[in-house]
Amino acid sequence: MPIQYYIALAACLFCIGIIGVLTRRNAIIIFMCIELMLNATNLLLVAFSKMYHGPAFAADATSTAGIDGQLFVFFIMVVAAAEVSVGLAIIVMMYRNVHSVDINFLNRLKN
Amino acid sequence: MNNLVYLIPFFPLLGFLINGLFRKSLNKPLIGIIGSGSILASFVVSLLLFFQVKSNGALPVQPLFSFIDVESFKIAFAFQVDQLSSLFLLIITGIGFLIHLYSTSYMHDEPAEHFGRYFAYLNLFVFSMLLLVLGANYVIMFIGWEGVGLCSYLLIGFWFKNNNYNYAAKKAFVMNRIGDLGFLLAVFWILAKLGTVEYYEVFAQTAKLSNADIFGITILLFIGATGKSAQIPLYTWLPDAMAGPTPVSALIHAATMVTAGIYMIARSNILYTMAPVTQVIIAVIGLATAVFAATIALKQNDIKKVLAYSTVSQLGYMFLGLGVGAYTGAVFHVMTHAFFKALLFLGAGSVIHAMGGEQDIRKMGGLAKKMPQTNWTFLVACFAIAGVPPLSGFFSKDEILAAAFEKNSLLYYIGVAGALMTAFYMFRLYAMTFLGQFRGTHEQEHHLHESPAAMTIPLIVLAILAAVGGLIGIPEAILPNAHKLEAFLEPVFEQSTRYVHEAHTVSHSTELMLMGVVTVIIIGVIVAAWRKFSKYQYSDAEETGLGKVLENKWYVDEIYDAVIVNPLLKLAGFLKNVVEKSGIDGIVNGVGRFVGYSARQLRLLQSGQVGNYILFMVLSLVVLFLVFWNETIISEFLKKIF
């Protein structure tokens, strides 16, 4: 499949994520949208990695060209997992305190 | 032996530091001893140096340390003791000591702290004055010049709780500052042309200066002198300076500081000799001041004001002497004037002391019986200043007038007219104070007493000096080769005498004849004044006509106020109320207001809504993306991919 398709898909996912973050007020949905953006980038990284690695591997079986993109994906997944655990914990605490997950309640730092 | 030079200013400086720093913990007798003792020590050293100079000639210049040292431009902090400065040293420390001694008694009613402050200022003054005459270059002289101005300011405003005294002090300071600017510019001029300010080097290189340079330098130095030595047009501060304690008037405003201008011109005599135009200006201004101030003194009723105008007048004679090239005569008159004018002021102080602060001579009279010592010393001083032979004032004034006669007989006649007025107002003052009936209150009459010994001893010493001081300068017409002062000062003015090399044109018989005629007229004036004012009765009648003008000092203060002071105050008011308030304040406050306003508006951006922040973040990223959009990089990237 040509790379353009991957790029277009990733761009769409990313934009959906951004729009979701900007428009929704439910903290969990915002959280999901952030995940969506992260995964859009992951998808792109994998796609570009494959694009570079494929021809290089065909020429030389020992080539490692482009595989660092896939490494980054793993990093991002690990970091995202950690972030999810912290973020969900914050949302749980928030719910306990204000009985809501509406982020507009989170303006207590103002003033 | 040469090392002693440093000691002369060191003692007063030490006295100043001790009295100034510990004035709260020292008691009055100790303050008095430190204050007077330091000057006495300087006087002893000055005396030693004087005899050394007298026998061996000028001492070599003594550099103390390098004062300014920038590349090739060097000014040493150096002292120079030659005939001229050693004479001034004696006047300053000798009369200074007598006045310090007198002050210990005169200022005795002051609380210890102010007593200490007084002596600290007085010692600082003597220190500055010694720097002024000891300095071996114009810069050191300028330091002393400013120092004496400062001390004059501090001492005029010594009783600082009286606002009028503070105004008088400020007036003196500002007037002096105008003159000081002239002095400073002259020093810069010398420095620019010759690259040095050391006296020896400057006077040796006068040939390098063009006539215009010499004229400019001498005129600017003279402007400095008019400020310090109270000449027209800057003299008005001196009569007001009488606000200070009377011994201060005696020391600073009669005997020493006001003669600084004469010292400076006598020191730079070669420059003045080479600038005949400046000499004429000096002679004319000096003579005008002498006569003008004398007319004012005729009608003053404040005992110190009469003496103040008399000082201005006598300083005018000294400048007349400088202007006609009689440098020795001017210095001679400085010396004799220091004796008799210090004596007059101290006598006036003694009278004021006895009268419980009263200074109006219309309310005195008949003090001769109550204060015998003050009376006869004052009388001696009056005869001396009036120029009755053989008292000191006769010889010095005669020398100046004789020199004026040689230059231009008109100068002489006007000068003699001034001298007659001097005799008249001095004996008016004497007769109204010491003769006739007492016109004060009964309380004052009861309180009248002769001053204590600490005050009368200086009076007696000064009276002796005022009587015989003139004998060191007997003119050749009377006794050949008896002018010891001229012989002594000859090396200082040698360069000028060589430059002029002009023989005396007036014969001795003419000189003697003029002397005799003037003396007879002066004695006649004295008798007239004596008879008229010893029968003086107090009256409230206002003066009319010329008398009123004279009593109001020719309205010079009023004219200065109208022409200079008030326009300046108006300008300052305009700058303060309009330019400052709406201009500068407007700009400064406007900047502040703008920052405050914009901060209040920007604050609204920080809403606390997470959604807003994210929106801004995304928008900023889009903006960044658009800003850094680079066609070629993107297209190359796309080409690579596709």
Residue A108 has pLDDT above 80, yes or no: no
Is A1 an 8 Å CB contact of chain B?
no
Among B608, B641, B642, whose Cβ lies nearest the Cβ of A110? B608
What is A3-105's CATH topology?
Helix Hairpins (1.10.287)
Which candidate from A4, A22, A103 shows the least CB-CB separation from B618?
A22
Confidence of residue B459 (pLDDT cuts 50, 70, 90): very high
Q: Do B606 and A110 touch (CB under 8 A)?
A: yes
> Measured between beta carbons, which residues in chain B are less than 8 angstroms from residue A21?
614
Please answer yes or no on whether B607 and A110 come within 8 Å at the CB atom. yes
| Single-letter code of the amino acid located at B499 | Y
Mean pLDDT within A98-108 = 76
The whole-number pLDDT of residue B501 equals 67
Q: Do B642 and A4 touch (CB under 8 A)?
A: yes
Q: Answer for the pair B46, B8: CB distance below 8 angstroms, yes or no.
A: yes
| B498 backbone φψ class: left, alpha, beta (φ>0; ψ -120 to 50) | alpha
Is the Cβ pair A107, B642 closer than 8 Å?
A: no
Residues from chain A contacting residue B622 (CB–CB below 8 Å): none
Rounded distance between C-alpha atoms, residue B32 and residue B123, angstroms: 11
| A111 touches B: beta carbon within 8 Å | yes
> How many residues can be counted in chain A?
111
Would you call B361 helix, strand, or coil by DSSP?
helix
pLDDT of residue B129 exceeding 70, the answer is yes
Taking CB atoms and an 8 Å limit, are A104 and B611 in contact across chains?
A: yes
* For residue B1, pLDDT beyond 70: no
Q: What percent of chain B has pLDDT over 90?
A: 53
Distance from C-alpha of B600 to C-alpha of B597, rounded to nearest angstrom: 5
Complex prediction ipTM? 0.75
- Mean pLDDT within B90-104: 94
Query: Which residue in the set A3, A104, A107 is minimally distant from B641, CB to CB?
Result: A3
Helices (H), B435-561: 442-447, 453-468, 484-500, 508-534, 545-551, 556-560
Q: What is the pLDDT of residues B521-562, one digit of tens each?
A: 999 999 999 998 888 877 777 777 788 888 888 888 889 889
Q: Which residue has the tokens 């009279």?
A: B365
Encode pLDDT of B468-503 as tens digits: 988 888 887 787 777 888 888 888 888 888 887 666
How far apart CA B491 and CA B266 sit, in angstroms, is 12
Structure confidence by residue, pLDDT tens digits, A67-86: 888 899 999 999 999 999 99
Q: Is the dihedral of CA B432, B433, B438, B439 positive or negative?
A: positive
Cα-based torsion angle of the residue sequence B238, B391, B295, B299 in order, rounded to the nearest 10 degrees: 80
pLDDT digits (tens, 9 = 90+) for B258-267: 999 999 999 9
Per-residue confidence band for A109, with pLDDT thresholds at 50, 70 and 90: low
Q: Which residues on neighbouring strands pair with residue B302, listed in sequence order? A: B360
Stated as kind and residue range, the H or E segment containing B304 is helix B303-323
Lookup: tokens for B505: 């044109």
Confidence of residue B151 (pLDDT cuts 50, 70, 90): very high
Contact between A109 and B608 using a beta-carbon 8 Å cutoff: yes
Radius of gyration of chain B (CA): 32
Q: By the 8 A CB rule, do B422 and B387 touch?
A: yes
Q: Do A110 and B618 touch (CB under 8 A)?
A: no
Question: What's the Cα-to-Cα distance from B152 to each of B126, B342, B349, rounded to whole Å?
Answer: 11, 16, 18
- pLDDT tier at B351 (50, 70, 90 boundaries)? very high
In angstroms, the CA B120 to CA B14 distance is: 10
Residue B89: the pLDDT is: 93
The proportion of chain B whose per-residue pLDDT surpasses 70, expressed as a percent, equals 98
A107 has a chain B CB within 8 A of its CB: yes
Q: B77 in helix, strand or coil? A: strand
Average pLDDT, chain B: 89
Instruction: Note the pTM of the prediction, 2 decimals.
Output: 0.79
B173: which residues sit within 8 A by CB, 6+ positions away? Answer: B149, B152, B153
How close is the nearest chain A Cα to the Cα of B604, in Å? 11
Q: Give me chain A's average pLDDT, please.
A: 87
Residue B79 identity:
F
At A3 the pLDDT is 84
**What pLDDT is attached to residue B127?**
95
Residue B167: HSE in the Cβ half-sphere, 13 Å Cα cutoff:
6
